[in-house]
Amino acid sequence: MNLAIFDLDNTLINGDSDHAWGEFLVENNIVDQEEYAFNNDKFYHDYTLGALDINAYLNFCLKVLAEHTLEQLLSWREQFIEKKIRPILLPKAKALIEKHRSDGDTLLIITATNRFVTEPIAKMHGINNLLASEAEKQNGCYTGKPTGIPCYQEGKITRLNQWLEQQEQHFDQQTFYSDSHNDLPLLKQVDTPVAVDPDPQLFEYATTKGWSVCSLRDAAK
């Protein structure tokens, strides 16, 4: 059996769900608009440079989860999915997923974005296996803090290895699709790395190494 691993943001969807969630919070006046928008953009810029302090970012973006009831958060999340995520779904990504599904491959999404944001997006793609950064809960409520190993850069390798140890079956081949140079640690580990609409750093590395490069958008890169 083979394993098909997918990054989420800017790979299976045409945008970044974490940053989009921040935009949604700002647009709906759920957070301080000026301050939150500034920090949301700054953290995303750091991410694109490969210089993101993941723990600082998770503390920033998870804080809002502790400030509202779960019922309210879930209501906002439904609105967010319809307004921000559904318009950026990619038909070619769905076709790629279905190709792997029809081949009998196990499907897994691995993402630095937290589970609260990404779990419904994974379900929209029909993928039950999700590795994401985790938000701490106590007594059924979010604390606003992260827990466990962030699913980012080398952390994706650790989280994937932990997940693999829990699986009953052995995977003969592992394919990983990603757009970001932040995923180079895991891309270098798998049998088949695929650069999907890659950022400039990943495109340069992938072409140098002779990796497959593809686009899931209408216009190929």
Assign residue 46 the CATH number of its domain: 3.40.50.1000
Residue 213 banded pLDDT, cuts 50, 70, 90: very high
Residue 219 banded pLDDT, cuts 50, 70, 90: low
168 in a domain, yes or no?
yes
- Run of H or E residues at 134: strand 129-138
Residues β-bridged to residue 174: 3
Q: Over the chain, what is the mean pLDDT?
A: 96
Mean pLDDT of 38-42: 95
Q: Which pLDDT score is estimated for 34? A: 95
Residues β-bridged to residue 109: 6, 130
Q: What is the number of domains present in the chain?
A: 1
- 3-class secondary structure, 216: coil
Residue partners of 129: CB distance under 8 A and separation at least 6: 106, 107, 108, 109, 163
219 in a domain, yes or no?
no
- 3-class secondary structure, 17: helix
220 in a domain, yes or no?
no
**Is the dihedral angle over the CA atoms 3, 167, 6, 198 positive or is it negative?**
negative
Structure tokens at 198: 């890659």
Distance CA 132, CA 112 (A): 6
Tens-place pLDDT, residues 150-208: 999 999 999 999 999 999 889 999 999 999 999 999 999 999 999 999 999 999 999 99
The answer to whether residue 127 scores a pLDDT higher than 80 is yes
Please name the amino acid found at residue 101: R
Whole-prediction pTM value? Answer: 0.95
101 in a domain, yes or no?
yes
221 in a domain, yes or no?
no
Structure tokens at 106: 């196990």
197 in a domain, yes or no?
yes
- Residues marked as catalytic: 7, 9
Tens-place pLDDT, residues 61-114: 999 999 999 999 999 999 999 999 999 999 999 999 999 999 999 999 999 999
25 in a domain, yes or no?
yes
205 in a domain, yes or no?
yes
Query: Residue 217's closest CA among 14, 17, 20, 9?
Result: 14
Range of the domain at 88: 2-214
Query: Residue 125's closest CA among 162, 93, 79?
Result: 93
